[in-house]
Amino acid sequence: MNGNGQGNGNDGSCPVMTTADGRPIGRQQAMTAGPRGPLLMQDVELLEQMQHFNRERIPERVVHAKGSGAFGTFTVTRDISEHTKADLLGKVGKKTDIVMRFSTVAGERGAADAERDVRGFSIKFYTDEGNWDMVGNNTPVFFVRDPYKFANFIHTQKRDPKTNLRDMDMQWDFWSQSPESLHQVTILFSDRGRPVGYRHINGYGSHTYSFINDRGERVWCKFHFKTDQGIKNLMDDEGDTLIGANRESSQQDLFDAIEKGDFPSWTMKVQLMTQAQADGFEKSTGWNPFDLTKVWPHAEFPLIEVGKVELNRNPDNYHAEIEQASFSPSAFVPGIGPSPDKMLQARLMSYADAHRHRVGNNYQQLPVNKPKCPVMHYQRDGQMATADSYKAMTANYYPNTRDAMPKPAEKFHDPAWDLGSAIVDRFDSENDHDDFTQAGNLYRMFDDAERDRLATRIAGVLGQARDQVQMLQLCHFFRADEDYGKRVATKLGFDLNELMERMGAVTT
Ligand code: NDP
């Protein structure tokens, strides 16, 4: 019993209900003037409950709103310290706690899990040198390479402002005007566009990042997480049936597997590229190694296994630990850093900014986001700041002459970045790029049946767009692979001879 006469329930009795201020509650019935009402303003217990209820929701993520997550560990299986001084990757057998969040992208928080969509794949590593957030997708590439296009692209995936409906003409209009999207569009409409659940997807950091070793040498790297459960996808009829039966199929699958001790895992691998290789790659292929719409071919840049990610604990409270989990690509640790990838550079700002809006300026002080190592800075105050975070720090300014106050340490300074004689401009991110070879390579990997399913799905939605949009988009498919173009065109009901004549007019 505490001072208020409240039991804690440990003795089998129920604890006494209290207000949020901790005052025990006698009855939970509205206080009224007479049995029929009206209510009284002095019923502060009821007022508190109603006011809190009105504030239960935080802003939904603009993208990746519907998600699931869990806690686990990352274990190093191969020493790659010659490439990075990242403490979490330093020694075989080293374990680091993690939280992971998976999501769909376009749907709102109530959307069904089994929709055709890209899946978000994020991991927060609570390392001894700060949190490292790997904020990726289940696809190795993305739809656009210039961040100016991002908000516009997302608008096309959401609802039309007038009809409040998803709009296929809007989606394909944008994609047909953005041929760099073809690679990701091909993945989206392939079998992998509708996974059985989160346990059965690969994760990719997608962007190029940098590794820095303790000699101050930088190499470029890409992160891959291969599912140990195997890739499993839903055919369209299976997906539709599943949504009819269970809108939370991925949440259910992940939660139930962990609850019964069937812990899902992923093997982490990296691809590495030196600056000299990057220069050579661009010369020989024409592909910018920092272009988010491109992969690095495995044959030239083989995957190197580095560790294992395992999920083994469900959250106790979904809202506190998963909805408020805030992942940002800007959360780097010593030994891991950015690359010039323009999309990554934009995300370095926008994710942390979104969390400040969505969760609050001090989102990193919430238990799920809080680093497990000491946090020592001179940022102060703002909504929901906890004194716990600043503890014995007597100064809120730097430099200072006070004892035992945090100071920067030169050994954590990253080597300088030589940008040569860079010219500042708004460079063309649309023309003079080969946006078709890699999309074609992917298409040519599919067997005949998957090519056919891909073309059927695309025609089903592209057929809802205007004729002009269909023509432009068909040109992109033909450029990637003639068979790709012909299949989609046939499914759309075009006469191929007539189409060739019309396409000549579109492309000239
Ligand atoms: P590879 O043949 O070495 O790699 C092909 C990779 O594609 C596989 O390793 C597998 O990667 C993935 N894959 C296999 N089947 C499918 C499928 N049905 N749908 C989607 N992806 C599949 O050739 P390249 O490295 O030259 O890549 C060729 C094409 O493969 C690329 O244009 C790209 O579209 C796709 N790809 C390439 C990746 C890369 O990092 N190089 C990664 C994923 C896809 P995984 O084991 O990661 O699933």
Q: Please report, for the domain that includes residue 503, its CATH number.
A: 1.20.1370.60
Task: Indicate whether 252 and 354 sit together in one domain.
Answer: yes
> What is the band of 394 on the pLDDT scale with cuts at 50, 70, 90?
confident
Task: Indicate whether 340 and 253 sit together in one domain.
Answer: yes
CA nearest to 148, candidates 178, 172, 182, 168:
178
Q: What is the pLDDT of residue 243?
A: 98
Cβ–Cβ < 8 Å for 129, 333:
yes
Task: Indicate whether 137 and 149 sit together in one domain.
Answer: no
Q: Is the CB of 190 under 6 A from ligand 1?
A: yes
Say how many Å lie between the CA of residue 295 and the centre of ligand 1. Answer: 8
pLDDT surpassing 80 at residue 508: no
Q: What is the pLDDT of residue 214?
A: 94
Q: What is the pLDDT of residue 507?
A: 59
CA nearest to 339, candidates 410, 271, 417, 412:
417
- What proportions of the chain, in percent to the nearest 5, are helix, strand and coil? 35, 15, 50
CA nearest to 117, candidates 104, 108, 135:
104
pLDDT surpassing 60 at residue 1: no
| Tokens standing for residue 236 | 């369209």
Residue holding tokens 């208020």? 4
pLDDT by residue (tens digit) across 76-109?
999 999 999 999 998 999 999 999 999 999 999 9
Distance, in Å, from the CA atom of 141 to the CA atom of 181, rounded to the nearest integer, reads 9
| Tokens standing for residue 283 | 């010369």
Say how many Å lie between the CA of residue 314 and the centre of ligand 1. Answer: 31
Query: Which run of H or E residues covers position 137?
Result: strand 130-137
Atom of ligand 1 nearest to the CA of 298: 25
Q: Is the CB of 299 under 6 A from ligand 1?
A: yes
Q: Is the CB of 424 under 6 A from ligand 1?
A: no
> What is the band of 6 on the pLDDT scale with cuts at 50, 70, 90?
low
Cβ–Cβ < 8 Å for 365, 324:
no
Q: Is the CB of 109 under 6 A from ligand 1?
A: no
pLDDT surpassing 90 at residue 335: yes
Task: Indicate whether 496 and 450 sit together in one domain.
Answer: yes
Say how many Å lie between the CA of residue 139 and the centre of ligand 1. Answer: 10
CA-to-CA dists, residue 306 to 127, 151, 225, 240, 253, angstroms: 16, 35, 10, 38, 27
Residue holding tokens 């006011």? 51
Beta-bridge mates of residue 203: 225
Q: Is the CB of 202 under 6 A from ligand 1?
A: yes
Residue 365 in domain:
no
Say how many Å lie between the CA of residue 138 and the centre of ligand 1. Answer: 12
Q: What is the pLDDT of residue 4?
A: 54
Q: What are phi and psi of 357, to 5 degrees?
A: -75, -45
| Tokens standing for residue 244 | 């009819």
Task: Indicate whether 210 and 293 sit together in one domain.
Answer: yes
Residue 499 in domain:
yes
DSSP string, 77-95: -S--TTT---GGGSSTT-E
> What is the band of 13 on the pLDDT scale with cuts at 50, 70, 90?
confident
Q: What is the pLDDT of residue 198?
A: 98
* Ligand 1: residue whose CA is nearest its atom 32: 438
Distance, in Å, from the CA atom of 322 to the CA atom of 99, rounded to the nearest integer, reads 9
* Ligand 1: residue whose CA is nearest its atom 24: 297
Answer positive or negative: Cα dihedral of 60, 66, 72, 78: negative
Query: How is residue 134 annotated by DSSP?
Result: E
Percent of the chain past pLDDT 90, that is, above it, reads 87
Residue 480 in domain:
yes
Task: Indicate whether 226 and 317 sit together in one domain.
Answer: yes
Atom of ligand 1 nearest to the CA of 139: 43
pLDDT by residue (tens digit) across 186-219?
999 999 999 999 999 999 999 999 999 999 999 9
Task: Indicate whether 262 and 324 sit together in one domain.
Answer: yes
Distance, in Å, from the CA atom of 268 to the CA atom of 202, rounded to the nearest integer, reads 10
Cβ–Cβ < 8 Å for 323, 58:
yes
Say how many Å lie between the CA of residue 442 and the centre of ligand 1. Answer: 7
Single out the residue in 329, 360, 391 at which a domain terminates.
360
Say how many Å lie between the CA of residue 420 and the centre of ligand 1. Answer: 34
Say how many Å lie between the CA of residue 122 and the centre of ligand 1. Answer: 20
pTM for this entry = 0.95
pLDDT by residue (tens digit) across 282-300?
999 999 999 999 999 999 9
Q: Is the CB of 192 under 6 A from ligand 1?
A: yes
Q: How many CB atoms lie within 10 A of CB 289?
A: 22
Q: Ligand 1: which of 118, 284, 298 to mutate, judged by most atoms within 8 Å of the beta carbon?
A: 298
The answer for residues whose C-beta is within 8 angstroms of residue 418's C-beta and 6 or more apart is none
CA nearest to 226, candidates 163, 296, 308, 168:
308
Residue 109 in domain:
yes
Q: Is the CB of 442 under 6 A from ligand 1?
A: yes
* Ligand 1: residue whose CA is nearest its atom 7: 442
Rounded to a whole number of angstroms, the distance between the first and last alpha carbons of the chain is 84
Single out the residue in 338, 360, 382 at which a domain terminates.
360
| 159-166 contact pairs (CB < 8 A, 24+) | 166/106
* Ligand 1: residue whose CA is nearest its atom 27: 297
pLDDT surpassing 70 at residue 165: yes
Q: To 5 degrees, how large is the angle CA 307–CA 309–CA 315?
A: 160
pLDDT surpassing 70 at residue 10: no
Q: Ligand 1: which of 445, 447, 454 to mutate, judged by most atoms within 8 Å of the beta carbon?
A: 445
Distance, in Å, from the CA atom of 67 to the CA atom of 326, rounded to the nearest integer, reads 12
> How many domains, in total, are found in the chain?
2
**What positions carry a catalytic annotation?**
64, 137
- β strands within 362-508, DSSP E: none
Task: Indicate whether 153 and 131 sit together in one domain.
Answer: no
Single out the residue in 334, 360, 386 at which a domain terminates.
360
Q: Is the CB of 438 under 6 A from ligand 1?
A: yes
- β strands within 196-257, DSSP E: 203-204, 209-212, 218-227
Residue 121 in domain:
yes
Atom of ligand 1 nearest to the CA of 192: 19
Task: Indicate whether 149 and 86 sit together in one domain.
Answer: no
Residue 159 in domain:
yes
Query: How is residue 389 annotated by DSSP?
Result: G
Q: Give per-residue burial for 79-92: e unless 16+ CB within 10 Å, then b.
A: ebeebbbbbbbbee
Q: What is the pLDDT of residue 157?
A: 96
pLDDT surpassing 80 at residue 167: yes
Task: Indicate whether 266 and 200 sit together in one domain.
Answer: yes
Domain that residue 213 falls in: 67-143+194-360
Residue 255 in domain:
yes
Distance, in Å, from the CA atom of 217 to the CA atom of 224, rounded to the nearest integer, reads 22
CA nearest to 367, candidates 311, 319, 312, 332:
319
Task: Indicate whether 221 and 93 sit together in one domain.
Answer: yes
* Ligand 1: residue whose CA is nearest its atom 3: 298
Q: Is the CB of 380 under 6 A from ligand 1?
A: no
Taking all residues of the chain, what is their mean pLDDT, rounded to a whole number? 94
Residue 208 in domain:
yes
CATH code, 230: 2.40.180.10
| Tokens standing for residue 486 | 């012909």
Q: Is the CB of 298 under 6 A from ligand 1?
A: yes
Task: Indicate whether 157 and 208 sit together in one domain.
Answer: no
* Ligand 1: residue whose CA is nearest its atom 33: 442
Q: To 5 degrees, how large is the angle CA 97–CA 99–CA 105?
A: 155
Q: What are phi and psi of 402, to 5 degrees?
A: -80, 155
